Amino acid sequence: MTEQPIISLRAVTKVYGDGPTAFQALKGIDLDIAQGDFVAVMGPSGSGKSTTMNILGCLDVPSGGTFLFKGRHVETLDRDQRALLRRRYLGFVFQGFNLLSRTTALENVELPLLYRGEDKATRYDMGMAALDKVGLKDWWDHTPAELSGGQQQRVAIARAIVTQPDVLLADEPTGNLDSERSVEIMQLLTDLNRNSGITVLMVTHEPDMAAFARTIVHFKDGLVERIDQGVEG
């Protein structure tokens, strides 16, 4: 018997806008993600990758279809319930890092814990542990302007994993980095996947980065075109 997937999408559609300008970005996505997998999402610009990631990250809702997360029907949850699910189980990393600029690395990483109501000592311990995981413990009091692009992205990853999520969603995490820095981020994601057991879903345009994943999902025109399984080298 196979384990139930941590994520299961069935016939998921997304329509932006309404009336004559309405645009169907997703046309019926079927996708199962196994717990512990490392998945790369590829496909042409506009094929629906970010739209799907935003739905999986509970930042947006599908127009139709079902989204099961750990067996729960997310499409039936209201905004507050989705926010709770996001805070408890999901971490999100964007291409542009999205760090608060006048704030130290540690304070950036502590932010999700603040939202969760953790006390100061717990925030400090968990924040420093997350910074340690991404190799930036000694940089805790630096602001983003004092960090390189690769370091900023590692702070953003620390912020995403500080709550110990089950799933890490990363939308083009290396899109703003040179190839050497990109490989470092991929090694970090691989390490988090293997050693911390985090299920990783990452959008990338680069085959070299997708090669770090175990499964590659190819999007085309708002549909899953093909899934390559067990491709890890």
Instruction: Return the residues of window 50-89 that contact ligand ATP according to CB under 6 A.
Output: 50-51
- Look up residue 24 and give its amino acid: Q
Q: Which residue has the tokens 């806008």?
A: 17
Nearer to ligand ATP, 53 or 156 (CB): 53
Q: Which stretch binds ligand ATP (CB under 6 A): 17-25, 85-93, 141-149, 194-202?
A: 17-25
- Interface residue with ligand ATP, options 45, 76, 101, 195 (CB under 6 A): 45
Beta strand pairing status for 64-69 and 7-16? antiparallel
Nearer to ligand ATP, 15 or 34 (CB): 15
Residues 6+ apart with CB under 8 A from 117: none
The minimum distance between CB 18 and ligand ATP, in angstroms, equals: 11
Nearest CA to 37 out of 216, 208, 215 is that of 215
Q: Which stretch binds Mg ion (CB under 5 A): 6-14, 28-36, 48-56, 101-109?
A: 48-56
164 sits in the region (left: phi over 0; alpha: psi -120 to 50; else beta) called left
Q: Is-contact 205 199, C-beta < 8 A? A: no
Is residue 23 a contact residue for ligand ATP (CB under 6 A)? Answer: yes
Residues near ligand ATP (CB under 6 A) are 16-17, 23, 25, 43, 45-51
